[in-house]
Amino acid sequence: MVHDRVIELENIGLISYKKAWEYQQKLVQERLKNPLLSDKLLLVEHPPVYTLGTGSTLNNLKFDLKSFSGELYRTERGGEVTFHCLGQIVVYPILNLHYYKQDLHWYLRQLEEVVIQLLYQYNIKSYRIKGLTGVWIGNAKIAAIGIKVKRWITMHGFALNVDCNLSGFKQIIPCGIQDKFVTKMTHYDPNINIIEVKEKLVETFAKVFCISII
């Protein structure tokens, strides 16, 4: 599959979850009004924050909401509860799937493929688990995926644990799966540099989706 699509990269860096969420909503609305607008690829990192998908149950939170002083948002993405923090690359593709393939399962598998191919470049072997969304190493998840698609315009995306403090995940049952853990790239190679990972991620995304990125 070859596309002549060009995606605009925005390597935003550190931004609050709320601001990034509102920005995505703005970009989606603009593209619903004008489908000829270019696609976007947003790369961000978030300060510590918990997010819940549409069908998330509060039973997967291990803390009492009444005494919780951190940030937590219920969003329109699919999937269960997850945690974002510094050292984790969060990728928000704003794509018009009319120009690719109007198939959500295809899109989810493509996002997983980006992570799998990226990790392979670091000699980290990862894989899918049938029936579960995301990317795994052994019994541990290294990348969580949760998307929202409105009239085939995508938002939300995936989070890849590069060199982050995983302790925040201990306060939740990540993605609602009891018998699994979370991991990060620096567990397998302590010399991994997050700036380089972002560069390789963009290149891999372009390759997997057969597009150009500017």
- Of all residues in the chain, the percent with pLDDT exceeding 70 is 98
Distance CA 19, CA 141 (A): 26
| Mean pLDDT, residues 18-38 | 97
| Mean pLDDT, residues 162-175 | 90
- Any idea which of 25-39, 57-71, 179-193 has the lowest mean pLDDT? 57-71
pLDDT of residue 65: 85
Buried/exposed 41-80: b ≥16 CB within 10 Å, e otherwise: bbbbbbeebbbbbeebeeebbeeeeeeeeeebeebebbbb
Distance CA 169, CA 60 (A): 11
Q: How confident is the model at residue 3 (pLDDT cuts 50, 70, 90)?
A: low
Domain 6-213 carries which CATH code? 3.30.930.10
Residues marked active site are found at 175
| Mean pLDDT, residues 8-20 | 98
162: its two tokens: 């590069």
Residue predicted with more confidence, 180 or 2: 180
pLDDT of residue 1: 47
pLDDT in tens, 68-81: 999 999 999 998 89
pLDDT in tens, 30-41: 999 999 999 999
| Mean pLDDT, residues 88-116 | 98
pLDDT of residue 5: 86
Relative orientation angle of helices 104-120 and 194-209, to the nearest 10 degrees: 130
Residue 58 has pLDDT above 90, yes or no: no
Choose among 44, 43, 46: nearest CA to 85. 46
| Mean pLDDT, residues 125-154 | 96
Mean pLDDT of the chain: 94
| Mean pLDDT, residues 111-135 | 96
Distance CA 18, CA 115 (A): 25
The alpha carbon of residue 210 and the mean position of all alpha carbons in its chain are separated, in whole angstroms, by: 19
